[in-house]
Structure 1
Amino acid sequence: MKTKHLLEALALVALGQGAVHAAPLMLQDASITATYNGAADGMLGLDHDFAAGPGTNTTKLDPTDTGVEFLTSDFLFGIDFSADGLLTVIANYAVAPGAYSMRFDLGGALPISPITAFTLTGMEGLTGIPGLSIIDSHTIALDLSGVDWSEFSSLSARLETGPAVAVPEPGAPAILMGGLAALALVQNGRRGRKPRA
């Protein structure tokens, strides 16, 4: 019985160690400027019908939410932003391994709601780990060089705002509770054994 209470206490301590997530960053009416592999002309925006030209790397959010906001100029990737802060990168083809990077600046569209978290939320049909980073309060970056893509594979990441609360390292109380729980389980197991004859 003591073991059960000890395990319940340990579970409560573990739950207390979880992160508190910030709120999704609302992007309706956002204007986004993007670069691909460091070049402005590497991104083709929806507002410019995905055609090359000056300023084509800036676009507003698709009001119908039916398509992508950007295509890379090599047409390898489509990039979609949703109004609730979800970024999705879709491979149009099986993409050969290489150095692929993207940067998105939401600029003056977010004077009140800075980006405080940028979290990977899903990977479909790809392997490897992308690099996600916050450059400043309105700019994010993706490093996709460590990712192997199959055709129509995708990754998604959520932009969040609000007070960022880091996941704390397990403290001494949690480690102590874990040790006590393990000790209690071992002791309980010994009591239940029958002595050998």
Structure 2
Amino acid sequence: MAGRIARRCRVPQRNAGFDHQQWRGAAMLKPPQVDKYEVLDPDEAQRLRQKMERRKEGIVDRYNRSLSEDRSSNVGSFRQRSDKYMRPFCLDVHLSSKYVNATIMHRSRGRVVAAVSTNSKDMRATLPSRSDLSACRIVGETLADRAKEADCYSVIYIPRKLERLEGKLAAVVEAVANCGISVYHADKGIMLARNSSQK
């Protein structure tokens, strides 16, 4: 019984007749370079070589053209590139279930010009609610006053994805526009201060 178990557990030994070093060296050898056009007629071989060269040149040209198109598409128009310098101040409004935050930021410098939040100490004590329409209007008026102190009289509003100008958001923007700050809507391309003044 013990002999059977020993024979089963015996590790198979390497085949002594096979030279692994010779096989490894043969595998590492590269085959000689043979021109695949040598078997053809010389004129036919020359024509095929020219055809392959033209195909390679066409592939390279298409690749360079695609790179140039990608670069030109990423640059943007003159209006897109100069917009953040022509309208440097951006209005950003963040609404949550508890608080209302509004800021005016310099787009090229990344500096906050004016900021108002219903969660701040000066606004917390005076507001009965921190997230209703009246609080949104007070936030817009306070933000407009602080922007005037910082010599900012024109801002651009860039809505986020799937964001509509209605409800509490519209209340903040209209309050800023009614206090003498020109608000430009980026998507609609209109000045919201003129529309609110007409009402």
TM-score, normalised relative to structure 1: 0.29
TM-score, normalised relative to structure 2: 0.28
Q: Greater RCO between the two (CA within 8 Å, min separation 6)?
A: 1
- Quick check: which one's helix share is greater? 2
